[in-house]
Amino acid sequence: MDDLTADLARRLVAEQFPAWAHLEVTGVERQGWDNRTFRLGTDLTVRLPSAAAYTPAVDKEHRHLPALAAHLPIPVPEPVALGAPTGDFPHPWSIRRWLEGETIDVATGLDRDRLANDLGRLLTILRSAPAADGPAAGQHSFYRGCHPSAYADQVQAALRELEARVDTAACEAVWAAALTSVWEQSPVWFHGDIAAGNLLAANGRLSALIDFGTCGVGDPACDLVIAWTYFDGDERRIFREAAGLDEGAWRRARGWALWKALILIARVPGADTDGAQTRILTEILTDPLTD
């Protein structure tokens, strides 16, 4: 993403939306992998996908976020304009409303028990949003919303690579349990990447949900992974009670969490240098709530 600069964002805005050409463009300190975001003035952002694989999210979010925003009790990014590919930048891109707040991994004064409850309730509300016109889970959502078996090959490959470093028997048991159920209800909305970096907080409370690039309609189990990647102990129990869903969904969610931890430990050089993924894997394997 080194070539996705504030100067590029400034040129795109000036060429396609000259009414905003006078606004200052500045980088946003904390960035995800799929997109590069810039502040446009004080009230807007410019969002550039970092690769072709992430471009389906641009139109998807532009089309569906307004309806989801009207349904959800906290703000989500409001689409303002849709940018077209150019010679300088070969992908569609977007302008959104800026949302104030800090991501929950750095927010101060956060009531984590309340956050667990609020997030669980938010996910139940998201699942109740009208889904008839929503995009079915698939490649555009990187198979979030599908069955976790979509990544069975990656789990098996990671376990072979990590045989001497992780408890493969325990991992295989969690993975096998994840494959014993399927979502048998009508498809519902899922976010697809409920993670600390996509949850904003203000005044000690959850204040916004951002980055719907992997959203769609399907199995919502993937949205429960934060139970192990962020919450622990009583927080996890509170989140589980508020989020609802049956035992099968929680076993599939645990499988999703296992898949991500394993591939990060196995395949991303330096990804576990601080032990973060190892700690997450320990939480997944020792959680009594999903035994």
Convert the pLDDT of each residue in 182-211 to its tens digit: 999 999 999 999 999 999 999 999 999 999
Judgement on whether residues 108 and 128 belong to the same structural domain of the protein: yes
What CATH number corresponds to the domain at position 249? 3.90.1200.10
Mean pLDDT of the chain: 94
pLDDT exceeding 70 applies to what percent of the chain? 96
Instruction: Give every CB contact of residue 288 below 8 A, 6+ residues apart in sequence.
Output: none
Inform me whether the pLDDT recorded for 28 exceeds 90. Answer: no
Judgement on whether residues 95 and 107 belong to the same structural domain of the protein: no
pLDDT at 272: 63
Query: Does residue 227 sit within a domain?
Result: yes
Judgement on whether residues 280 and 226 belong to the same structural domain of the protein: yes
Taking the whole predicted model, whether its pTM rises above 0.85 is answered as yes
Inform me whether the pLDDT recorded for 181 exceeds 90. Answer: yes
Judgement on whether residues 134 and 208 belong to the same structural domain of the protein: yes
Judgement on whether residues 45 and 185 belong to the same structural domain of the protein: no
Separation CA 20–CA 166 (nearest Å): 52
Judgement on whether residues 147 and 36 belong to the same structural domain of the protein: no
Judgement on whether residues 228 and 156 belong to the same structural domain of the protein: yes
Q: Are the beta carbons of 280 and 231 closer than 8 angstroms?
A: no
Judgement on whether residues 118 and 92 belong to the same structural domain of the protein: no
Instruction: Give every CB contact of residue 78 below 8 A, 6+ residues apart in sequence.
Output: 65, 66, 69, 96, 97
Judgement on whether residues 133 and 239 belong to the same structural domain of the protein: yes
Q: Are the beta carbons of 255 and 174 closer than 8 angstroms?
A: yes
Query: Does residue 1 sit within a domain?
Result: no
Instruction: Give every CB contact of residue 248 below 8 A, 6+ residues apart in sequence.
Output: 180, 181, 182
Judgement on whether residues 70 and 206 belong to the same structural domain of the protein: no
Inform me whether the pLDDT recorded for 232 exceeds 60. Answer: yes
Q: In which band, very low, low, confident or very high, does the pLDDT at 164 lie, cut at 50, 70 and 90?
A: confident
Residue range(s) defining the domain that contains residue 220: 103-290
Mean pLDDT value across residues 118-136: 98
Mean pLDDT value across residues 86-114: 95
Last residue of a domain, one of 81, 99, 117: 99
Number of folded domains in the chain?
A: 2
Last residue of a domain, one of 66, 99, 132: 99
What CATH number corresponds to the domain at position 27? 3.30.200.20
Query: Does residue 39 sit within a domain?
Result: yes
Inform me whether the pLDDT recorded for 117 exceeds 70. Answer: yes
Instruction: Locate 166 and state its tokens.
Output: 């992780």
According to DSSP, the β-strands at 93-97 and 44-49 are antiparallel
Q: In which band, very low, low, confident or very high, does the pLDDT at 33 lie, cut at 50, 70 and 90?
A: confident
Judgement on whether residues 168 and 58 belong to the same structural domain of the protein: no
Among the listed residues 144, 140, 236, the one whose alpha carbon sits nearest the alpha carbon of residue 188? 144
Query: Does residue 182 sit within a domain?
Result: yes
In this structure, how many other beta carbons lie within 10 angstroms of the beta carbon of residue 103? 16
Last residue of a domain, one of 99, 119, 134: 99
Judgement on whether residues 88 and 110 belong to the same structural domain of the protein: no
Summarised one tens digit per residue, pLDDT across range 235-279 is 999 999 999 999 999 999 999 999 999 999 998 655 565 688 999
